[in-house]
């Protein structure tokens, strides 16, 4: 017999009845606010072309590395989950069988945010009313497939239904932004905006780097055969992004180091990189230097700078070779912000045009480094709990560890950071519930009035993201 699927209206609110009653009232004031999605990985193409989503396996399993890594951790192979091999080798192609593998292993996801989001999506977006299991896999697959073939489940229809006021994509520095142009032509230019992500052109040690800077050169008309032209190309492309509505840049680095190099040294490393002779140490130094340079460009053009450091990508090289990046084998390393960010904060930390939003997957820095930095530097804001930490208890710990030093108003509100378009409402909804619960505890402990708590909740859910990501007047 199938177990019913009916997400409880009080889910993820605190258990204690008194606190829950307060949390309910606070949440009631934020639950229907529009979604402001300042950082994520939905492709502009999806909204530009507005094609129907694929089958349930493609929507819920194959591209979601939270889901595939958990199944792999219990012995399944990526091939069995339909993840394409780089060598074109055979993988599962039957979406029904892929979907079934998730359903049969539903218990593995107990207490994980993936389970929480999937339940929300299945029930509230697709109207599914039974829990996934071996028994229910097929019937759910059929219902999902039927829904996905209707116009109501096309991307733009969902954009509307989800109440997404603004969504920011993440785009390579070498993107031609063609899909954003299509969106602008369709009147969606103010609602779907790009973000400038230059990782591929600043990490000089990566295989594809040279090709990327060449592409950057031809896109911008700047001569990237030298360091000065490279900087010029970046400036031009940032401007192009800003003209297309971008409010921010985004930077993924292993370390937070922002030590600038002498211009001549930076030029030397750049040239060695072009010649394919750069060492690992030089590449690291150049990456830190480029964070400093990018901060300077942000002061010039007012784009908000986001930093996502501390993840060792592709920890399992054989998986990387076979399946490419973003397959669940990105593992955090200890993070350090105090010394790493000092150069950039001494240079620009008090500059009115500079805004730096910091993310982490290392919780130890919340109270030790991030909150003290955000509670002092006017340029710094704390991003939402990221990746593994975007979970009920993870978000609660962020508030508990950061707020007493940073306050609420040095945080930048929730970002969903997701590739999974249909999970966006679930993610924002969960964050609103957790914030309501945290605020309700403060009220119950007489540390905040309920009026203040409610106002704060609305700010966290809606106003702060808009404020934090406002383009700085250049």
* Rg value, the chain, Cα: 23
Note the helical H segments in 205-363.
209-220, 227-243, 263-274, 280-301, 317-323, 342-348
Indicate whether 135 belongs to the interface with a second copy (CB under 8 A). no
Q: Which of 195, 237, 454, 456 binds a second copy (CB under 8 A)?
A: 456
> Which residue from 24, 372, 458, 466 is in contact with a second copy, where contact means CB under 8 A?
372
Closer of 147 and 388 to a second copy (Cβ): 388
Quote the CA–CA distance of 149 and 126 in Å, as a whole number.
Answer: 12
Minimum distance, C-beta of residue 104 to a second copy, in the bound complex (Å): 13
Residues 341 to 370: which contact a second copy by CB under 8 A? 342, 345-346, 349-350, 352, 361-364, 367-369
Least Å distance, CB 311 to a second copy, is: 9
442 in contact with a second copy (CB under 8 A): yes
* CB-nearer residue toward a second copy: 210 or 315: 315
Binder among 88, 207, 334, 473 for a second copy (CB under 8 A) = 334
Give, for 261, the enclosing helix (H) or strand (E). Answer: none
Per CB under 8 A, does 250 bind a second copy?
Answer: no
Contact segment (CB under 8 A) with a second copy among 49-57, 66-74, 170-178, 207-215 equals 66-74
Binding test (CB under 8 A) with a second copy, winner from 32, 74, 264, 473: 74
**Alpha-helix residue ranges (DSSP H) falling in 53-124:** 56-60, 65-73, 95-104, 113-120
List 316, 419, 463, 471, residue binding a second copy (CB under 8 A): 316
Q: Does residue number 260 form part of the binding site for a second copy (CB under 8 A)?
A: no
- Among residue numbers 263 through 302, which ones bind a second copy (CB under 8 A)? none
The rounded Cα 70 to chain-centroid distance in angstroms is 19
- Nearer to a second copy by Cβ, of 274 and 436: the residue is 436
Shortest Å, Cβ 345 to a second copy: 6
**Residue among 15 and 275 whose Cβ is closer to a second copy:** 15
Residue listed under structure tokens 């009232």: 25
| Rounded-to-integer distance, Cα 354 and Cα 288, Å | 18
Nearer to a second copy by Cβ, of 257 and 362: the residue is: 362
Assigned token pair, 248 = 């921010």
- Length reported for the chain: 474
Between residue 155 and residue 174, which ones bind a second copy under the rule CB under 8 A? none
Q: ∠ CA(372), CA(378), CA(379), 5° rounding? A: 100
Interface pick for a second copy out of 312, 313, 324, 474 (rule CB under 8 A): 312
Given the complex with a second copy, which of 178 and 350 has the nearer CB atom? Answer: 350
Segment lying near a second copy (by CB under 8 A), choices 157-165, 186-194, 240-248, 326-334: 326-334
Residues 6+ apart with CB under 8 A from 400: 438
Distance (Å, whole) CA 73 – CA 456: 39
* Site for a second copy contains 449 (CB under 8 A): yes
H or E element in which residue 433 lies: helix 424-444
In angstroms, give the least distance from the CB of 220 to a second copy. 34
Helix (H), strand (E) at residue 396: helix 392-406
3-state helix, strand, coil in the chain (%, to 5): 50, 10, 40
Residues 173-202 that bind a second copy (CB under 8 A): none
Q: Are 392 and 430 in contact (CB under 8 A)?
A: yes
Binding of residue 465 to a second copy (CB under 8 A) = no
> How do beta strands 331-332 and 311-312 pair?
antiparallel
Q: Are 306 and 249 in contact (CB under 8 A)?
A: yes
Supply the DSSP string of 158-186, one letter for each residue.
HHHHTTEEEEE--EETT---HHHHHHHHT
Site string for a second copy, 79-118 (x = CB under 8 A): ----------------------------xxxxxxx--x--
**Taking contact as CB under 8 A, which single stretch among the options 155-163, 243-251, 301-309, 331-339 is the one that binds a second copy?**
331-339
- Contact map string, positions 405 to 434, toward a second copy, x by CB under 8 A: xxxxxx------------------------
Q: How far is the CB of 358 from a second copy (least distance, A)?
A: 13
Q: How far is the CB of 392 from a second copy (least distance, A)?
A: 7
The angle formed by the CA atoms of residues 232, 238 and 241, to the nearest 5 degrees, is 145
Q: Which of 194, 171, 196, 173 is nearest to 183 (CA)?
A: 194
Among 377, 450, 463, 466, binds a second copy (CB under 8 A): 377
């Amino acid at each position: 017999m199938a177990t019913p699927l009916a997400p409880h209206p009080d889910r993820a609110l605190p258990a204690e009845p008194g606190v829950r009653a307060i949390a309910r009232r606070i949440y009631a004031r934020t639950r229907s606010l529009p979604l402001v999605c300042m950082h994520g990985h939905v492709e502009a193409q999806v909204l530009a072309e507005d094609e129907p989503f694929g089958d349930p396996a493609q929507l819920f399993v194959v591209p979601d590395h939270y889901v595939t890594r958990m199944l792999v951790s219990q012995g399944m192979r990526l091939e069995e989950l339909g993840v394409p091999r780089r060598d074109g080798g055979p993988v599962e192609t039957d979406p029904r069988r892929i979907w079934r593998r998730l359903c049969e292993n539903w218990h593995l996801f107990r207490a994980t945010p993936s389970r929480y989001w999937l339940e929300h999506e299945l029930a509230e977006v697709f109207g599914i009313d039974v829990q996934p299991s071996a028994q229910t896999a097929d019937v759910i697959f059929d219902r999902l497939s039927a829904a996905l073939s209707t116009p109501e489940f096309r991307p733009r229809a969902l954009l509307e239904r989800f109440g997404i006021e603004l969504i920011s994509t993440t785009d390579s520095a070498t993107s031609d932004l063609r899909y954003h142009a299509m969106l602008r032509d369709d009147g969606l230019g103010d609602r779907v905006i790009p973000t400038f992500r230059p990782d591929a052109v600043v990490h000089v040690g990566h295989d594809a780097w040279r090709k990327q800077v060449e592409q950057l050169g031809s896109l911008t008309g700047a001569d990237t055969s030298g360091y000065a032209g490279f900087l010029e190309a970046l400036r031009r492309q940032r401007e192009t992004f800003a003209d297309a509505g971008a409010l921010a840049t985004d930077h993924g680095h292993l370390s937070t180091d922002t030590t600038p190099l002498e211009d001549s040294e930076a030029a030397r490393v750049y040239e060695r990189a072009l010649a394919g002779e750069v060492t690992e140490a030089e590449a690291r130094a150049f990456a830190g230097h480029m964070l400093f340079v990018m901060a300077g460009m942000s002061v010039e053009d007012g784009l908000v700078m986001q930093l996502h450091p501390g993840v060792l990508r592709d920890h399992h090289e054989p998986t990387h070779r076979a399946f490419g990046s973003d397959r669940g084998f990105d593992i955090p390393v200890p993070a350090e912000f105090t010394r790493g960010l000092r150069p950039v904060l001494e240079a620009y930390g008090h500059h009115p045009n500079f805004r730096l939003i910091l993310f982490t997957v290392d919780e130890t820095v919340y109270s030790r480094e991030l909150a003290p930095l955000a509670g002092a530097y006017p340029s710094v804001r704390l991003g939402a709990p990221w990746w593994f930490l975007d979970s009920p208890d993870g978000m609660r710990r962020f508030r508990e560890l950061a707020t007493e030093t940073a306050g609420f108003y040095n945080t930048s509100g929730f970002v969903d950071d997701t590739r999974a378009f249909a999970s966006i409402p679930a993610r924002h909804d969960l964050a609103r519930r957790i914030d309501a619960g945290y605020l309700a505890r403060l009220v119950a402990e007489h540390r905040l009035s309920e009026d203040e708590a409610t106002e704060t909740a609305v700010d966290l859910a809606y106003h702060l993201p808009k404020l934090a990501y406002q383009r700085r007047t250049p």
